[in-house]
Amino acid sequence: MSRKTSKSVSLALATTTLLAGCNQLEAIETEGSGGGGGGGVPPAVRAAFEGSCGKAGCHSPGATLPILAGDELDGILTGEINGVPLVTLGDTANSYLAIVMLPDALLSSLGLTRTVPRMPADNDFLNPNNQVILSWIGGAEFEGGGPDTTGGPDTDTDTDTGGTDTTGAPAEPTFANVQAIIDASCSCHFSAPSAANGMLEMPMGDSYGALVGVQSPTVDLNLVEPGDPAASYLYLKLAGGFEEAGGMGTLMPPVMGLMDDAKVALIEEWIAAGAMNN
C-alpha cells in the first residue's frame, strides 16, 4: 500500500442534503464495518472520533450517519457520501470527513467547498481531537490500525508516510518531504494566526514562504534559519531547546504520537543543508 499526501485540490463535491446541526445526512454508503482489530481505525484516532463526533445524539450508533463510534466506525475506510470517500488516507482533499472539519479559509485556498456546516457541531474547533483526526487522514501513522489488506502479506515497501521512507533508506531531506510532515502533523497551524495556534500559520501544502527566513512571532529567532537548525525556532519546538531560546509552551506537535525521531531528523537535515525549496 502507499500513502501519499495528494497535491491535487481539484475535488468537485456533489451536492449533499443536510439539515442543520447533527441531523441526517443522505445518500451515504458504507461497505463493511469490520471490528476494531488490526485493520481498522487506530485506537488513538478512534478515541478522538468518539470523544468529539460519536457522542450520544450525534454520530453515535443508532443516530446520525455516518456512525463515528463503536465497531461501525471502521466503515469510514470504505464508506462514501454522494461518491466522495469519507476517508482517503493520505489525501485530505479527497476525504469528506476532512472537508467538513477544515477551516473555511483553508478550504477556499484549496479551491474546495462544502455544503454543510463545519464540524464538529459543537464548534469545539480547537479540541486536540480534531488534530488527531485530520493528521490521521493526512497520512500520519498511528499504532494499531489501518486499512485492511486482502490476500497475503503486503509486500509493497515503497510507502510514503509523511516524510519517511520505509524501504530501509532514510527519506531525502527535501522540502517536499518536510511539507508532507507538516501536512500530516500540524493541522492546528493551517488556519490564520491566533492565540490558539501561537500566532503561527503554516499553510497546508505551501508553508515554505511562511517559515524560511521568517521571524518567529514569539521569540527573537527565525522559524527556519537556513544552515543552522540550532537557530531555527521551528526545529527547537520539535526537538527541544525552545525554552532556552525564550520560548514557552510544550514540544510540538502535542504528545499524540504524531512525529517520530526520523521526521525530526529529516527536518534538521533539511535546515542544515540550506533549507532549499526543493
Which residue intervals of 142-252 are DSSP H helices? Answer: 175-185, 208-211, 233-239
User: What's the pLDDT band for 261 if we cut at 50, 70, 90?
Assistant: confident
Nearest to 100 by CA among 59, 60, 61: 59
Which residue intervals of 110-166 are DSSP H helices? Answer: 128-138
pLDDT at 30: 33
pTM: 0.48
Of the given ranges (9-18, 49-58, 115-124, 157-166), which has the lowest mean pLDDT?
9-18
pLDDT tens per residue, range 49-77: 999 888 877 888 877 888 898 889 999 99
Please state, in angstroms and rounded to a whole number, the distance separating the CA atoms of residues 100 and 258: 22
Among 179-188, 189-198, 201-210, top mean pLDDT goes to 201-210
- DSSP structure class, residue 18: B
Question: Average pLDDT over the chain, rounded to whole?
Answer: 75
